[in-house]
Structure 1
Amino acid sequence: MAGPDFSKSTIDTLAQRAGFQCSNPACRVNTVGPNGNVSKSTVIGEAAHIKGAKPGAKRYDSSMSDAERAAISNGIWLCRNCHGLIDRDEVTFTADVLFRWRSEHEEQIAKKLGARELPQQSITTDIRRERDVASMRQLMSCLNIPALEQHIHQLPHTITETDLFFHQAFSDLRNSTSFHLYDPTLDETTKNLSEAWDRATQYAYRYRSCGNGHYIFSNEGDAPLSSDQQTDWDNIEKERHAMMHYLVTLLNYIRNSYIEIDIRETNENARKRYASIA
């Protein structure tokens, strides 16, 4: 079933209102430029639906009419990479987030209309990105991704001292008053990961030591779980799935929008950090 497409007029207007730039605040790449053929231009931008165009699409709203889905009010101008990013993850990139991106970006473009871009404006944007890169390198160096993936896989049954070390390091830095991210998507995704991790590890009293720094969620003699224990088990199960979702979302976003951050390098930093105290 084909969904309602934007008209050419709507696509052109969305691109123009965005100043032919990607509306993702962490991207902002120019999406239109010259082609090798002097009679053509190269376009790497796309008009994306904020609320899905058809059933099964991300952020689909069944209460909307086809006319509303094809209206300019339901569109946002993005580069191809960011269009793909938002259509892989509707939990992080909600309709509200995308409406905010478009509104804030168009407001910035309106302020620049007819004005020369001052060097200071560009410098400020560059500084914010540089600080986000530095902050994220520091935060990701609290995570050894293979160890975290194993931790998530073993929940709710097992927690190790290694898991608790990385959780404490990540949580302490992410929740520090001195830690700040300018990129709203980075800020929201790291916050969501931290909170899901906190919720997944709040049931430490349910675990028994089985030696070698391992703790298991069980009763003496492997007696059946009580109803309260089962409820807590189910809650941990729910949060471990949330953790994996936010981790994958974060890694995809970093790889797409922050190529300066080398995950292999931050993994090694985290490994060395743990080895120094183990």
Structure 2
Amino acid sequence: MGHNYGLPTIKALFAQALHCAYPACEEPLLFEERSRGVRTIAVQIAHIRSEKPDGPRYDPEYPPELLNNEENLLLLCGKHHGAVDQNESVFTTDELVDWKAAQLAQGGGTTVSDADLADMVRALESTLSALHEAL
């Protein structure tokens, strides 16, 4: 299932953070090796509340139109995104809301160009499709 985050939402998420939202994880948002001209996304967009009824932390009371908005999304590295979604009874909605607040408090986020975003969106869609199919 593809996601419709929209470029403004993705830009806002990256502008709000410096690294993975998992507490004490310092995985940066982007992997960069300037000497080789490499710049690629190092995190994944994660839902606080799932958009699917059988997904992690699904909340039937949460407005469907807000599921893919930035207030319901946070950036997690691949290691933590999978662990958080596979253990939803351990990682609650309230806890992820707190992580989101802490990620916002990181400030001084990462600036990405529209060209970088287009590449990242393609990579995210592929990664998220694979992740959701695996769940």
Equivalent residue for 1:12? 11
Query: Aligned partners of 1:55 and 1:71: how far apart in 2?
Result: 18
TM-score by length of 1: 0.36
Does residue 54 (structure 1) correspond to residue 48 (structure 2)? The answer is no
Task: Tell me: CA distance 1:50–1:3, structure 2 relative to 1, closer, same or farther (3 Å).
Answer: farther
Tell whether the 8 Å contact from 1:4 to 1:70 is kept in structure 2 after alignment.
yes
Does residue 95 (structure 1) correspond to residue 93 (structure 2)? The answer is yes
Q: What's the secondary structure of 2:86's corresponding residue?
A: coil
Task: Tell me: CA distance 1:59–1:104, structure 2 relative to 1, closer, same or farther (3 Å).
Answer: same
Equivalent residue for 1:63? 61
Taking every aligned residue pair, what percent have the same amino acid on both sides? Answer: 28
**Amino acid corresponding to residue 58 of structure 1 in structure 2:** P
Of structures 1 and 2, the one scoring higher in RCO (CA 8 A, sep 6+) is 2
- Give the greater-gyration-radius structure (CA): 1
After superposition, the C-alpha distances for 1:51-84 in whole angstroms (9 at most, x for unaligned) are 0011101001112233110111100111111111
**Amino acid corresponding to residue 70 of structure 1 in structure 2:** N
Query: Aligned partners of 1:73 and 1:105: how far apart in 2?
Result: 11
**Amino acid corresponding to residue 14 of structure 1 in structure 2:** L
Equivalent residue for 1:34? 32
Query: Aligned partners of 1:12 and 1:71: how far apart in 2?
Result: 12
> Once superposed, what is the RMSD of the aligned Cα atoms?
2.0
Query: Aligned partners of 1:16 and 1:81: how far apart in 2?
Result: 22
Task: Tell me: CA distance 1:67–1:3, structure 2 relative to 1, closer, same or farther (3 Å).
Answer: farther
Tell whether the 8 Å contact from 2:27 to 2:42 is kept in structure 1 after alignment.
no
Does residue 73 (structure 1) correspond to residue 34 (structure 2)? The answer is no
Q: What's the secondary structure of 1:9's corresponding residue?
A: helix
Equivalent residue for 1:265? none
Equivalent residue for 1:44? 42
Q: What's the secondary structure of 1:77's corresponding residue?
A: strand
* TM-fit CA distance, 1:9: 2.3
Tell whether the 8 Å contact from 1:4 to 1:54 is kept in structure 2 after alignment.
no
The one of 62, 80, 83 equivalent to 1:82 is: 80
Residue segments in structure 2 that go unaligned for 5+ positions in a row: 109-135
TM-score by length of 2: 0.69
* TM-fit CA distance, 1:103: 0.6
Q: How does 1:143-162 map to 2 (within 5 A)?
A: none
* TM-fit CA distance, 1:95: 0.7
Query: Aligned partners of 1:95 and 1:81: how far apart in 2?
Result: 19
Residue segments in structure 1 that go unaligned for 5+ positions in a row: 114-278
